[in-house]
Structure 1
């Protein structure tokens, strides 16, 4: 990778347009994503978020405009683009008949990784799936499947990861696990472009936020920059009540801690 490539945006989109027959979804999308950055793409259902991800991952050709990934044009150099990226869709793309480890080894071999078995073991440890490695994925919870799905997407060390609504359908605890993994990816230098409908998710994860509306990116900036678009805040004193999500996580965490203390005491009596 040249010095010019390192300083250029990891993802560069200029004037992308796409229609499905008479239905225009994207009209003039322009967006740059810096390297090692998490960018959240917000938009309502049907705004075109998934369409844009499909174009950037070479699964769909744009009607107009250009897009480059790691300096490679998505239309003229699709093989180079695919070698640089990984895509995790809205639903976990795992084989339920295989074990977690077998899923990872299979993808490793398909991507011609030198030692697929060692790679699988390392990812199982990284994503806290060692204890479930030999179980069929059909027995996994939704959060475990999503963790395995993201682990599979990292085989081959892609520099750019697309996450299309990665926490859809997950419970609060599983969402927190995915959030931690996304932050870890970016901390390791991976560029992440994620689509989401959850505003709290964008606020918790993103370095920059882009809003897709009417076929265009109408806002692109940091959370602080977006807040400055509104009138200055007024100071009000209110009693803050915990959210239901905070209550859930506190109760579940407390129950888990109590169970661990009971097991420890039981083990002490047996010894």
Structure 2
């Protein structure tokens, strides 16, 4: 294996300090590598004019599709599409099609609180505050902590889950109980549950998060509250300065409370 250059190592360290995800880091490194290879020089020896030239290459080669530039830049962004949303009935069918208690509870929590997959798997038992009606999400995207509402039905489900599974540190531990459940387990469960429930949509953990936000909007929840619950502070300039109190978060009803969900998988 070739040794990592000091410049590449510095970039990796800078991205790690800023809590960029591994996928984002790979994407950024790939882009810089393509930029460097195009000019045949180290990126620290390239300037603004080189950036402009590379951008023009992208414009003529990709945007205009000129055949005289055969090489295409990999991992180009696809056009933005509307996210897949599940109806309330589909949420129930989907979650009840997950046979594992631990995985079903993790996915139910992701929907009930609008969590990212990484946030759901990294929940700790101590993050569930039943008395205050709050779930504490630690080190979310961008390293930010936030509070989200703890659904009354979710609390009941978590109590049943806790009595049966007895998690100690991680709310959803992996096979090695000193580590959280692997996020790939959730992804795999989503694919299987979709097929089992007969849902003809591509459903991921993020689909549950999109559905959470959409269902809240449809029920009349203020968009500013939803922005805070999702940990989004860049949707608008106003959102950056909007602060929602814990009292308001506690009083916001999770969409899960409008559904009837079987807690323990049969069998």
User: Shorter-chain TM-score: which interval?
Assistant: under 0.3
Which is higher, the Rg of structure 1 or of structure 2?
A: 2
TM-score (norm 2): 0.24
TM value normalised by structure 1: 0.23
